[in-house]
Amino acid sequence: MTELIGWSASAILLITIIKQVLKQWQTGSNDGVSKWLFVGQVVSSLGFTVYSALTGNWVFIVTNAALLVSNITGVYIYFRNRERDSEDGAELDADVGFNRQEVGGRNA
């Protein structure tokens, strides 16, 4: 019964994190997501994975290793979206001939 509780909690936690990462991937948006969320989770997941391996608890080893992978993926997606957004903004500015220095036809 103890193992069932652990694996069930692990599954719920992984589903929630993976769902957030998938949402970022599908929408291509970082709205409401802090880069520090994933950076902090990468560091803590790495520490917890090492700790879990040292204690030999398979529920925690698997959970923390999976969280580490999903958090690294989240960091990658965050920075990919941010880079794409900055490129899209530059392309949009070039397409409409917009100069960020101009306001209302005058130089600001």
Q: Name all contacts of 76-83 with Cβ < 8 Å and 24+ positions apart.
A: 77/21, 77/24, 77/25, 78/24, 78/30, 78/33, 78/35, 78/38, 79/35, 81/24, 81/28, 81/29, 81/30, 82/30
Domain count, the chain: 1
Verdict on whether the full-model pTM lies above 0.75:
no
CATH number of the domain to which 32 belongs: 1.20.1280.290
Render each residue's pLDDT in the chain as its tens digit; 108 residues.
Answer: 888 888 898 888 888 888 888 888 888 888 877 778 778 888 888 888 898 899 999 998 999 999 899 889 988 998 998 888 887 766 555 544 444 444 444 444
Domain containing 29 equals 2-107
